[in-house]
């Protein structure tokens, strides 16, 4: 059984009020939800609050999940909506995309971190040179491993727009990396 299939089974069980299924789904996805939320809101407490809101929505809305996308895509779409709503409520806070994308992604194992350290630092620095729209697409595709179709659903734009933004983001990022002295730092 694949994780996607088992996630869908968990959602069906959650819709029937199965608390254990909810705990399993939470355990499987809360770190990803937290990291994505943190990149958007730049506040650890707000990101923690997002986790609660997202999974409360999952508990309440599981019966409405239609399976048109992966459960992880659905979770990130809810997270994005909740994060943007929270930022709108915080009128005194301006979303600083540069700082949000500079947050280190600690999901790599120690050996990989050592191997990628210099390139990774240069890449994070260069990401700040991209527009907010391009950074969001890069974050979802490369850090969250979402497909073009899934990104389109999460962000609420057509697939062709995702492809176009990704193309120009890669092109700009390659220029920035080359200027930073990194010739091959992008897949």
pLDDT tens-digit readout, 94-109: 545 555 555 555 555 5
Q: Which of 101, 83, 89 is nearest to 33 (CA)?
A: 83
Q: Which residues contact 138 (CB under 8 A, 6 or more apart)?
A: 127, 130, 166, 169, 173
The model's pLDDT over 106-149, given as tens digits with 9 standing for 90+, comes to 555 555 555 556 666 777 778 888 888 888 898 888 888 888 99
**What is the DSSP secondary structure assignment for residue 180, as one 8-state letter?**
T
Check: CB of residue 67 under 8 Å from CB of residue 12: no
Distance CA 89, CA 71 (A): 27
pLDDT of residue 15: 93
The pTM for the full model equals 0.59
Q: How many CB atoms lie within 10 A of CB 45?
A: 8
How many Cα atoms occupy the beta-carbon half-sphere of 32 within 13 Å? Answer: 20
Given a cut of 50, whether residue 187 has pLDDT beyond it is no
Q: Please say whether the dihedral angle defined by the alpha carbons of residues 82, 84, 89 and 95, taken in this order, is positive or negative.
A: positive
The set of residues, in sequence order, having a beta carbon less than 8 Å from that of 180 and lying 6+ positions away, is 122, 125, 126
Q: Read off the tokens for 27.
A: 């355990």
Domains of the chain and CATH, by start: 3-89 (1.10.1740.10), 97-179 (1.10.10.10)
């Amino acid at each position: 059984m694949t994780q996607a299939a088992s996630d869908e089974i968990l959602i069906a069980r959650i819709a029937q009020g199965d608390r254990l299924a909810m705990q399993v789904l939470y355990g499987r996805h809360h770190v990803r939800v937290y990291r994505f939320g943190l990149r958007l809101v730049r506040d650890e407490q707000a990101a923690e609050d997002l986790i609660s809101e997202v999974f409360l929505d999952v508990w309440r809305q599981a019966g409405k999940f239609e399976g048109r996308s992966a459960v992880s895509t659905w979770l990130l779409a809810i997270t994005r909506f909740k994060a943007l709503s929270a930022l709108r409520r915080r009128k005194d806070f301006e979303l600083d995309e540069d700082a949000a994308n500079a947050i280190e992604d600690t999901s790599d194992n120690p050996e990989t971190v050592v191997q990628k350290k210099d390139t990774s630092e240069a890449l994070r620095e260069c990401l700040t040179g991209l527009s907010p729209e391009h950074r969001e697409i890069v974050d979802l595709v490369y850090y969250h491993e979402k497909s073009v179709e899934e990104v389109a659903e999460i962000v609420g734009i057509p697939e062709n727009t995702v492809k176009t933004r990704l193309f120009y983001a890669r092109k700009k990022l390659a220029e920035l990396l080359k200027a930073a002295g990194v010739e091959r730092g992008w897949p």
